[in-house]
Amino acid sequence: MSKQLIKARGLHKHYSISVGLLQPSKNLKALSGVGFDLYEGQTLAVVGESGCGKSTLARLLTTIEEPTSGQLSIDGIDMGNVQSKAITKQLRQTVQMVFQDPFGSLNPRQKVGDILQEPLLINTSLSATERKQKALEMMSLVGLRDEHFHRYPHMFSGGQRQRIAIARALILKPKVVVLDEPVSALDVSIQAQVINLLVDLQKELGLAYVFISHDLSIVRHIADEVLVMYLGKPVEQGPGDVIFNDPKHPYTQALLSATPSTNIKNKRQRIKLTGELPSPIDPPNGCAFNPRCQHANKSCTISEPVMDTFGKSQVACFALDEGRI
Amino acid sequence: MALLEIVNLTVDFATATGSLRAVDGINLTINEGEIVAIVGESGSGKSVGMLALMGLLPWTSTVTADRISFDGQDLLNMTEKQRRKIIGKDISMIFQEPMTSLNPCFTVGYQITEVLCQHFGGKRKSYNKKAIELLNQVGIPAAESRLNSFPHQLSGGMCQRVMIAMMIACKPKLLIADEPTTALDVTIQAQILELLIELQQSHGMALVLITHDMAVVAETAERVIVLYAGQQVEQRKVKELFDNPKHPYSEALLNALPERAQDKLLNAIPGVVPGQMDRPKGCLFSPRCNYAQELCSEEKAPLKDGILCHFPLDLSKSRKPKAINVETG
């Protein structure tokens, strides 16, 4: 069995939101009860609409923020018990991140070389020539040429910029890379180039990916494990092929049927999902999905469902528990 | 008779480093009540072509065409004033970023009624009822209270619905949707596409859908136009294109989709769309083409049966492996 890199159990993250003068602040539950394991060379895909807590999860994993409660251990070190700053610093090197928007995540005033060397400058004590050497190595690894070293981000196309962002994330030799919608801002053809690069890098370096996306056609292609979230809560979790071939939760089914397909001949019956994600400040009673769910009944509005094992996947749904679907 | 007819549309931009041809001889005919998709990567001139039709390009641009006619009227030789009566009323456009295309300083109700006042005259207040009706039509709950909301109080999907409500306010004959769902989630994307098709059918308007996602095309359009680097490389019925793409670029776009991948690696198209400086001498797609031969990089591709290619593919005859296909063309 390959090495376990991330172990998360019951992660919660709550923010306190002030709603106005003289009014008590409200609690926003951005993330509640997320748990998963991530092993070397594996890809975990986190799927859901915007506002479902995907990016909050990314912030917790990269230790930008601390969880309100729950256990998170990275590379065998429990984050809750870390005392020394040196270990935190080391953990931050272990988990790196690539952001969604390659136009916004690179400093327009820095040259590519400087962008790539900055993490080394802060985290290592390498000499200038060694740093440059490393940056050039990394550039060739992600398919950039040496002459790009002295260019500014605006001189590159979207796909190339995302390559720079990937190079920057990899330069500290992380074990886990959090990819926050890495290709959603790119064209389909360029998207394929970047995905291929990610797959190659994973094979070569044995990286583990946390792949955050709402595009299920890409997730189906790249993911080993899938975690479907709705309003901060996991609703379905399991191996990728199981989830895509036999989705159990009504939300997963709706997401899958909403993804456009090029198969013109047999058009699927679309499950219509009306409305939008409710506000996490004021979530609906009971199961968070019940206002949009076609299988909802009274029990769904009273209490919250918990994750139960169905075959190879775990699903939180009363309708499934009671055998209504 | 065709609703919109564009013959040989060309758009040039004057830049500091010389003239840049963004759109190179596009021909487009759209019939009443038809859904046409325009597909291509960024930089292929999809949006610029449509912006030229709307007259929304900056002064650095030069738009030339042999003929642009809409509903029997010649748009090319019209004064600005006459054109403005048509644009926004009979032809309207939805843009990609719903959050930025609404004015953040004004309420939703103000912005919808403004369109109506502009084209039909009268007091703004008198259109409030009509605005509520429109918001209901595009599926915004509690429309009455939403009239006084500002754009930042709405989600992306809601903003796009408001944009659509504004654009259908004057019952246009032609609606141009420029990547209307690219910035949205899949579930909201499905809702918006469904809404557009529903409106297209109930109003009997023609819909031009600009997108780079072939899957969206498959789900919605009847006819598709594939653009590459400003040139129109293929124009076909959607079903025919998906079954049997004739231009290598159309095929490459289809193959790049994750669902068509054979194994872990996707069939990416190498390189990027050529820019101002690196425009190839021969066929513009030749540096990225799987089937390119010597001739392709030497001579410009000829236009045969609506396909701009020296060696169009023909998959209906036999699906040969790529290496052999290169020789037979």
Instruction: Tell me what ipTM this predicted complex has.
Output: 0.81
pLDDT of residue B322: 46
Q: How far apart are the C-alpha atoms of B193 and B206, rounded to whole Å? A: 14
Q: What is the pLDDT of residue A266?
A: 63
Per-residue pLDDT of chain B (329 residues; tens, 9 = 90+): 789 999 999 999 998 888 888 999 899 999 999 999 999 888 888 889 999 998 889 999 999 999 999 998 998 888 888 988 899 899 999 988 888 889 999 999 999 999 999 899 889 889 999 999 999 888 888 888 889 999 998 888 889 889 999 999 998 999 999 988 887 888 888 888 989 999 899 988 999 999 888 888 988 899 999 999 999 999 999 988 988 899 999 999 888 888 887 777 888 888 888 877 788 888 999 999 988 888 998 888 888 888 899 988 876 554 444 443 333 33
Distance CA A34, CA A10 (A): 5
> What span, in angstroms and rounded, lies between the C-alpha atoms of B168 and B175?
8
From A294's Cα to the closest Cα of chain B, the distance in A is 15
A-chain residues near B38 (CB < 8 A): none
Q: Chain B residue closest to A266 (CA)? A: B219
Pick from B104, B220, B124: which is nearest to B169 by CA? B124
Best to test chain B binding among A47, A101, A189 (most B CBs inside 10 Å): A189
Contacts of A47 (CB under 8 A, 6+ apart): A54, A213, A214, A216, A219, A226, A227, A228, A229, A255
Q: Encoding tokens for residue A181?
A: 């919608």
- Give the pLDDT of residue B264: 77
Residue with tokens 């309207």: B92
Torsions phi, psi for A53 (to 5 deg): 100, 10
Secondary structure of chain A as H, E, C letters: CCCEEEEEEEEEEEEEECCCCCCCCEEEEEEEEEEEEEECCCEEEEECCCCCCHHHHHHHHCCCCCCCEEEEEECCEEHHHCCCHHHHHHHHHHEEEECCCCCCCCCCCCCHHHHHHHHHHHHCCCCHHHHHHHHHHHHHHCCCCHHHHHCCHHHCCHHHHHHHHHHHHHCCCCCEEEEECCCCCCCHHHHHHHHHHHHHHHHHHCCEEEEEECCHHHHHHHCCEEEEEECCEEEEEEEHHHHHHCCCCHHHHHHHHHCCCCCCCCCCCCCCCCCCCCCCCCCCCCCCCHHHCCCCCHHHHHCCCCCEEECCEEECCHHHHCCCC
Q: Considering only the beta carbons, identify the residue of B158, B242, B258 that sits closest to A217.
A: B258
Instruction: Point out the residue among A221, A263, A264 whose CB comes nearest to the CB of B261.
Output: A221
Cα–Cα distance, A212 to A47 (Å, whole number): 6
Segments in chain A below pLDDT 70 = 1, 264-268
| Beta carbon pairs, A and B, within 8 Å | 112
Residue B263: per-residue pLDDT? 76
For residue B315, what pLDDT is reported? 65
pLDDT digits (tens, 9 = 90+) for A222-261: 999 999 999 999 999 999 999 999 999 999 999 888 888 8
Find the residue in B nearest to A255 (Cα).
Answer: B187
Instruction: Determine the pLDDT at residue B189.
Output: 86
Q: Report whether B228 contacts B44 (CB < 8 A).
A: yes
